[in-house]
Amino acid sequence: MAVQITAIILASGSGTRTGLNVPKQFLKLAGRAVLEHTLRAFSCCGEFNEIIVVAHPLFVCRTEAIASRVEGIPIRVVPGGETRQQSSYKGVLSCPEASHVVIHDGVRPLVSVPLIRRVLRSLMSHDAIDVCIPSPDTVVIRSEEQIDHIPDRANMMLGQTPQAFKRDLILQAHQRAQTDGVINATDDCSLVLRLGHRVFIEEGDRSNMKITHLDDLYVVERLFQVARLGGGFDVHNHIGIRRALVLGGTKGLGFSLTSLLRTRGVETLAVGRHTDPGVDVSSGESIRTFVSELRKLTTAFDCVVYAAGLLLKKSIPEYSENEWDVTFETNLKGVFLFLRELESVLLPGGHFLALGSSSYSLGRAGYAAYSSSKAALINLIQAASDEYPQFRVNVVSPQRAKTNLRAAAFGGEEASDLLNPDDVACSICDILGTDLTGMNFDIRVDTPFLSN
């Protein structure tokens, strides 16, 4: 029998454990449903004959809509059962032509293509594969409310997916389980072990998390960002940039980015208050006039970067009301005003990227207006990414960088952990080329850069 491999993606959950009305597989991660990220990973592999998505019966149509956005491989959606075991069995029954199957949880969106391929290689030598990682914690076996015993942690591992099998073997395992009255197994390998058949272990990945509770989504989102910036995801989705507009591109990080883009052959227009055409980002009238003039001069851009910013180093009592207002107008209101004009300057599928600050995560004494405006910026961008699905809308939050803006506010003080503006510009260029949206990208000294 020729080798035919089917990926079975289990996505039949109802979402009760997240505490939300939305099933986990439909939650948004970087502008896409969690399930779509999972499907894209398997589609990118290029080694499957088809993908079968086992969906909750009430959400078959919604699942089909998500599957239709994933190209490169035939995808079928079938209704699942009341338990994970039933859903897995229905998936196996749905592909009688397959010689092998790979079963994966739809809410593990960080599964990597290299991991999937390692599992497939092992499947050519073994009939059953489980993906496991060493347990970082001590495992306790309880008896009612007391500890029964504590096994040696050296032998303890945590099971993940994908799990892979010869189809005939996993089909037999499911049928035997039904005969024996086993109806709620949470793991396919356990059914194979009941047959007395050995299961080979393939080393997994700690980032291959399963989204079970709402808190997991926040952790996965951060891991997703780090994986992309660290090159952990395939770069086939990297989107080329031909024409860029940088607001605030005459100083600081905006200037470094403009210089790098031009070096890379990107036609880049850098604007500020005193350029021609120029713009005052705190004024709606100025932005509207600028956009009107821009449309007369040139066509739309592939990306727009909002790099304008204002940092005044003052305590809260020292701020005047006007200084507070000007800070928020420059750092936040200007983004809002420009978003309203976005369709006039940005091509469909284009990227709007705002420059934030690492200070969003902790209000800093001495520049509360700056840090609080940058925290609000992230919320604005996340909302805008939903309201502008035709664009990619993100924010990048660099750690402290050695710029004129910082020198003016802090008197040129030196710090050992200041980022080099050119390194930040390299990372921003990589972010501009991703297909993600609704993300806040942290750039830190300890974050690896894709570019050198």
Q: Are residues 177 and 300 in the same domain?
A: no
Higher pLDDT residue, 170 or 239?
Answer: 170
For the chain, the average pLDDT equals: 87
Q: What is the mean pLDDT of residues 84-90?
A: 96
Q: Name the residue among 436, 389, 442 with its Cα closest to residue 419.
A: 442
What domain count does the chain have? 2
Residue 73 has pLDDT above 90, yes or no: yes
The CATH number of the domain holding residue 311 is 3.40.50.720
Q: Are residues 79 and 191 in the same domain?
A: yes
Higher pLDDT residue, 308 or 234?
Answer: 308
Q: What is the pLDDT of residue 434?
A: 82
Q: Which pair of tokens denotes residue 311?
A: 């940092």
HSE value, Cβ hemisphere, 13 Å, CA-based, for 429: 26
Q: What is the mean pLDDT of residues 93-104?
A: 97
Residue 164 lies in a domain: yes
Q: What is the pLDDT of residue 430?
A: 84
Q: What is the pLDDT of residue 450?
A: 36
What type of residue sits at position 80? Answer: G
Q: Are residues 222 and 263 in the same domain?
A: no
Q: What is the mean pLDDT of residues 325-350?
A: 94
Q: What is the pLDDT of residue 448?
A: 42
Residue 442 has pLDDT above 70, yes or no: yes
Residue 409 has pLDDT above 60, yes or no: no
Q: What is the pLDDT of residue 412?
A: 52
Q: What is the pLDDT of residue 426?
A: 85
What burial letters (b/e) apply to 155-191, b meaning 16+ CB within 10 Å? Answer: eebebbbbbbbbbebbbbbbeebeeeeeeebebbbbb
Residue 96 has pLDDT above 80, yes or no: yes
Q: At which of 210, 229, 248 does a domain end?
A: 229
Please, which pLDDT band fits residue 102 given cuts at 50, 70 and 90? very high
Q: Residue 419: beta bridge partners? A: 401
The CATH number of the domain holding residue 59 is 3.90.550.10
For 343, the domain range is 238-443
Residue 193 has pLDDT above 80, yes or no: yes
Q: Dihedral sign, CA of 279, 280, 282, 286? A: negative
Q: Are residues 264 and 115 in the same domain?
A: no
Asked if 109 contacts 38 with a C-beta cutoff of 8 angstroms, the reply is: yes
Q: Are residues 267 and 216 in the same domain?
A: no
Q: How far apart are CA 393 and CA 421, in angstroms?
A: 22
Residue 141 lies in a domain: no
Q: What is the pLDDT of residue 436?
A: 83
pTM strictly above 0.85? no
Residue 153 lies in a domain: no
Q: What is the pLDDT of residue 366?
A: 81
Task: Specify the range with the lowest mean pLDDT, choosing from 220-224, 262-266, 327-331.
Answer: 220-224
Q: Are residues 257 and 215 in the same domain?
A: no
Q: What is the pLDDT of residue 444?
A: 66
Q: What is the mean pLDDT of residues 416-426?
A: 75
The reply to whether omega before 277 is within 30° of 0 (cis) is: yes
Q: What is the pLDDT of residue 233?
A: 38
Residue 183 lies in a domain: yes
